[in-house]
């Protein structure tokens, strides 16, 4: 797992190499924001709960997949709140043409509701 300290060490190593190549180079880097990554073990019972709820709505359990972007899930996980990403289908995140399908928004809502019902039993 990538850590803020590890990233800072990699950047410092690049700057050191640049300074070695050009001793006149005056450059420094400082971290201004670091966010913890989010990960939940695929074997965690909450993952099974969400997949079972999704299977009831979608007709089959969704695949377990990793995502390359950062999301607010890390904040909830840091607070001890379990989370699986089960989002509507679409494309163009944060672009002018970002979209999700209306049907997948409805399905996602149904999965979230089924998950909440199962979790609260």
- Structure-model confidence comparison of residues 33 and 57, the more confident one: 57
Do residues 23 and 43 both lie within one domain?
Answer: no
Q: What is the pLDDT of residue 115?
A: 94
CB-based contact 114:53 (threshold 8 Å): yes
Nearest to 56 by CA among 120, 106, 107, 121: 107
Q: Which two tokens stand for residue 6?
A: 């590890």
- Please tell me the distance from the alpha carbon of residue 2 to that of residue 6, in angstroms, as a whole number: 6
pTM for this predicted structure: 0.69
Q: Do 42 and 8 belong to one domain?
A: no
How many domains does the structure of the chain reveal? 2
Please tell me whether residues 58 and 113 are part of one structural domain: yes
Same domain, 52 and 91: yes
- Above pLDDT 70, what percent of the chain? 100
Q: In which domain, by residue range, is 14 found?
A: 1-34
Distance CA 40, CA 10 (A): 26
In a shared domain, residues 59 and 79: yes
Does 30 share its domain with 43? no
**Average pLDDT over every residue of 17-34:** 93
Q: Cα(48)–Cα(84) distance, rounded to whole angstroms?
A: 10
Q: What is the C-alpha separation between 97 and 93, in angstroms, rounded?
A: 8
Q: pLDDT tens digits for 61-114? A: 998 888 777 788 878 888 888 787 778 888 988 899 999 999 999 999 999 999
- Regarding whether 61 and 20 lie in a shared domain, the answer is no
Residue 59 and residue 22 share a domain: no
Shared domain check, 16 and 48? no
- The band of 35, judged by pLDDT with boundaries at 50, 70 and 90, is confident
Residue in the structure block whose two tokens are 């944060």: 94
Residues 41 and 21 in one domain: no
């Amino acid at each position: 797992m990538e850590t803020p300290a590890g990233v800072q060490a990699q950047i410092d190593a690049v700057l050191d190499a640049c300074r070695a190549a050009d001793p006149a180079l005056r450059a420094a880097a400082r971290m201004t924001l670091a966010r913890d990554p989010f990960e939940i073990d695929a074997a965690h019972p909450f993952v099974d709960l969400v997949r079972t709820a999704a299977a009831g709505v979608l007709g089959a359990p969704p695949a377990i997949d990793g995502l390359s972007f950062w999301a607010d899930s890390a904040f909830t996980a840091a607070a001890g709140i379990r989370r699986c990403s089960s989002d509507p289908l679409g494309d163009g995140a944060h672009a002018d043409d970002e979209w999700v399908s209306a049907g997948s928004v409805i399905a996602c809502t149904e999965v979230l509701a089924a998950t909440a019902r199962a979790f609260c039993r």
